[in-house]
Amino acid sequence: MKTNAFRALVALGFASGACAAPAMQNVYARTGITLDGKWHVIVDPYENGAYNYRREPLDASPNPSSGYFLDRRAADRTELVEYDFDASPTLMVPGDWNSQQEKLFWYEGTVWYRTRFDHSPAPGMQRQFLHFGAANYQADVYLNGAKLGRHVGGFTPFEFEVTGKLKPTGNSLVVKVDNTRHADAVPTVNTDWWNYGGLTRDVTLVETPRILVRDYQVQLAPARAAAATRVAVSVQLDGASAPTPVTVEIPEAGLRATLTTDAAGSGRTEIPARNLSAWSPQQPKLYEVRISSGQDRVVDRVGFRRIEVRGDQVLLNGRPVFLRGISLHEENPLRGGRAYSEEDARLLLGWAKELGCNFVRLAHYPHNEHMARVADELGLMLWEETPVYWTIAWTNPDTLANATNQLTELITRDRNRASVIVWSVANETPVSEPRTRFLRSLVDTARRLDATRLVSAAMEVHVDPADNDHRIVDDPFGAYTDLLSFNQYIGWYDGLPQKLDRIRWTFAYDKPVMISEFGADALQGMHGDALTRFSEEYQEDLYRRTLGMLSRIPQWRGTTPWILVDFRSPRRPLPVIQDGWNRKGLIGENGVKKKAFYVLRDFYLRDADAHSGSR
Ligand code: GCB
C-alpha cells in the first residue's frame, strides 16, 4: 500500500535507489526467521565504502571500486580489496553501537553491518520480505551485492520485498547505517537525548503466501449517538489483482464477518458487537482477532475501547478519566543503551505501574513495538510521539515529507493497540506561522489515518508581560489539538519552587489540560535541604508544590512529569552530578527510586482521580 507520504518521498527524490516500503502490520505474528544476532561491522567515518576519492557516490557508478563495502572477496591474491567483513569485529543486533563498544560511545557517522544467512522457503510461502524494526537514522540496504533501497528516520519500521532474490545458502545482507545529525532532518541537530546509532531493533526475514493481509485496522467505530457498538474493520491486501474475500473473526465474542476487497485490495466492514468487554486500565481485556484471506492468516490480540474529549473532560469508554502519567525515554539504564526488547518494556512499564500510573508518554520519538503491546497487556494508556522536537526546518517541504512519513509509519504500526490513545505530533516548538502550518498538516495526516484517537503536541507556555506570576497558554496550534498539553518548569528553569505557590493560569481553550512535562534534576543519593539544587529534597519539594499548583486548575485532567528514569544526554556535562545524564528521573540510572517517586505515587493513589472532572 503506497501512502501519499510515501509517494511524496519518492517524488522528492528522498531515496537513492528504491525507497523502503511501509512495513506490514503485526510482523511478530508472521512466519519468519530472525536475523538478530552478531553482525560483522566496519566503522566508516569518511564513508569510504560509499564514495570514491573524488567524493562521487559509488551507488551511481556502474563499476564500483573495491571501496564499495558489499561483502566482496578478492578473486585472487593480486586483487586489491581493502576491507574484510569476516575479519572485522561484531556488534549485536538489535542494539545501538554506542553502548556496545566504548570506542563508539560518542560516534556519529556510518557503520556498515553485514550478516549471512541461508534460506529455504517455509511450506506454502511464496514471498519474502526483509523487515527492520528500526535503524537510526538512515539505512541503505544491499542484498547479495545489489541495492534494495534506503530508509530515512530512526524509529519506525520498514521493509523490502526480496522474493526471487534469495539463494539457498550464503545470502549476504549489508546495511549502511548512518546516524549523522542534519539541520533539515527529523529530529534536527539539537536534542536532549543520546543519538544512539545502529540497527537498534529486530531484523526479520518474513515469509508470506502470494496474497497477504498487508495491513488492517480492527477497532471500535467512533461513537454515534444512540448507535449500537460496532467494530470497524479495514483491510488492505497485497498481491490480489481481483476482488478477494477476507474473513475477520473474534471467536471469544462469537463475531465473524466476511468482506470482499475492491480491485485495489482494500475492503472495509462494520460488525455489530454488543457483548465485547471494554479494554481499560482496570480490566485490560484483549481478544484474539483472526484475519484470513486465501492462504494467508494473521492472528492479533486486540482491546476495544473508546477515547474521546467532551468539553474539558477526557472520556474513556464514556467515563471521565484522569491521566496519571509519566514520561519515559526508550533506554534501559541497567543494561545501558536503547531499549528494544519485551523484557525492557516490562522493566520500564513495570516501574510506571509501581508509580500508580494509568498513562505513559513515550517521548520523544516512536518507541519499539513491544512497548505498545506490553502496555496493552498491563492496562497502560499511551501517548506516542514523533521526533518533531524544538526547532525543525518548518519551510522545507522535504522535512515535512519526512515528518509525515515517520508519523504515518508509527500510526500504521500501532493503530490496533488499545493502549495508544494520543498521537502527539511535536514537542516544544516555537510559535510561528510556518510552524503552525507544518504541525496542522501532521494533525490532518493523523486524523486521516486514524479517526479513533486523540491528537496533541507538547506545547509551551508564556509569561504575562504585565504579571510575572501569571502564565498563559494560548498557542494558536492549540485550536487543532484535542488536549491542551504543555511543558512547564516553574521552580527549576524558572525561579525557585516557592514560586509555584503563587502562579495563576489562563487558558485560551476550553479543553482538557494535560501537563506533559514538569520536573527537576536530582542525583539519586544526594541529600540537602529543599533549596539545594540537584538534591533529592529539592526534587521532592518541587513535586509537592507543582501538584498543589496543578490541583488548583479546574480543567486539569492529567500529567506526564519529566521523567521516569535518568537518561543519557550530551547536553548534561556537570561533573559528579550529571556526568552526561539528565537527572530528572524519579528513578536513578542504578534503578533506585528517589524521594519524589513516592510523592507522585501517593498523589496518584490517593488524590488524582478527584481531578477527572466527573460532576
Ligand atoms: C524539555 C524537553 C525535554 C528535556 C527537558 C529537560 O522541555 O522537552 O526533552 O529533556 O525539558 O530536562 O530540560
Question: What are 456-490's pLDDT values in tens digits?
Answer: 999 999 999 999 999 999 999 999 999 999 999 99
All three cell numbers of 65, joined, read 571500486
User: pLDDT tens digits for 199-232?
Assistant: 999 999 999 999 999 999 999 987 765 567 899 9
Determine the pLDDT at residue 224: 65
Atom of ligand 1 nearest to the CA of 521: 12
Average the pLDDT over each of 68-77, 171-180, 367-376, 393-402 and give the range with the smallest value. Answer: 68-77
Q: Give residues (CB < 6 A) around ligand 1.
A: 192, 364, 427-428, 487, 517, 562, 582, 584
The model's confidence at residue 6, banded by pLDDT at 50, 70 and 90, is very low
Q: 582 CA to middle of ligand 1, Å?
A: 9
* pLDDT over 90 percentage in the chain: 90
**Could you tell me what percent of the chain has a pLDDT over 70?**
95
CA of residue 341 to ligand 1 center, whole Å: 25
Say how many CA atoms lie within 13 Å of 82 toward its Cβ: 8
Is the overall model pTM greater than 0.85, yes or no?
Answer: yes
On whether the CB atoms of residues 588 and 564 are closer than 8 A, the answer is no
User: What does the pLDDT read at residue 11?
Assistant: 35
Residue 68 is predicted with a pLDDT of 80
Label residue 243 by pLDDT band (50, 70, 90): very high
CA of 135 to the centre of ligand 1 (A): 24
The DSSP-derived string for 423-458 is: EEEEESPPP-HHHHHHHHHHHHHHHHH-TTSEEEEE
Nearest-atom number in ligand 1 for the CA of 427 is 8
pLDDT class of 263 with cuts at 50, 70, 90:
very high
In the prediction, which pLDDT does 72 show? 87
Query: Nearest-CA neighbor of 199 among 143, 155, 149?
Result: 155
How far does Cα 5 stand from its chain's mean position? 18
In this predicted structure, the answer to whether residue 290 has a pLDDT above a threshold of 90 is yes
pLDDT at 16: 38
Q: In what order do the strands lie in the sheet with 513-517?
A: 454-458, 420-427, 381-385, 359-362, 323-328, 556-559, 513-517, 484-487
Nearest of 509, 506, 490 to residue 498 by alpha carbon: 490
Q: How far apart are CA 515 and CA 346, in angstroms?
A: 25
413, amino acid identity:
R
At residue 7, the pLDDT reads 39
Q: Relative to the CA of 458, which ligand 1 atom is closest?
A: 8
Report how far ligand 1's centroid is from the alpha carbon of 562 (Å). 7
> Any idea which of 4-13, 108-117, 294-303 has the lowest mean pLDDT?
4-13
CA 278 to ligand 1 centroid distance, Å = 35
The values of phi and psi at residue 46, to 5°, are -95, 5
How far, in Å, CA of 12 to CA of 581, rounded? 38
Taking the C-alpha atoms of residue 10 and residue 400, their distance in angstroms, rounded to an integer, is 13
Cβ contacts of residue 429 below 8 Å, gap of 6+?
Answer: 388, 389, 390, 391, 392, 435, 439, 457, 459, 460
Q: For residue 133, how far is its CA from the centre of ligand 1 (angstroms)?
A: 26
Which of 190, 485, 494, 562 to probe ligand 1 with, by most ligand atoms within 8 A of CB?
A: 562
**Site of grid cell 492479533:** 300
Contact of 17 with 139, CB cutoff 8 Å: no
